[in-house]
Structure 1
């Protein structure tokens, strides 16, 4: 009988949000930092990626991504988390800001 290989565990996604996870609106006001291979990470939300200049662009299928696009949208983990933390307070949903969502949640109103 051969031994079973030891499984490996690695994180592949971080959720970044200014709203607490218990807030019903947190999923809408969150973005993700996701592993994309080769020790590089992307800041993503609704199928788009944040680039190094702070602009969102659609993330096409892998075979359509140019090297220039990848260079602007893939980061080391620390950089990706920094970019995500800077972007999180600026998210809006249907015209509501993060501040609106936080204020409404303390008032008991839904966004």
Structure 2
């Protein structure tokens, strides 16, 4: 069963929205995995910089700008998540087209807001 959220662009910096998202997902009892350009940890969730071929990712929430997403298109598609959330500033028509062709849902939304209004 796919049950994890993968936060892409995760950072140990508590001021970053990606960090807030990991913490809020945990507060709402979601299972979380994190990917970033530096290894680290957020509330016991390891941030990995390795492209691990997970098989249990339900949702990918993006905190990478469109230029920084490009190298990860194949990785994202290969994880075959149920959906991808494009947080503000990460909207990317090119990747959205690839997701649509692969039958993967996507939405332009804020993970923090979705959680706070029970729409996650």
- Normalising by the smaller structure, the TM-score range is under 0.3
Instruction: Name which one, 1 or 2, has greater alpha-carbon Rg.
Output: 1
| TM-score normalised over the length of structure 2 | 0.23
| TM-score normalised over the length of structure 1 | 0.24
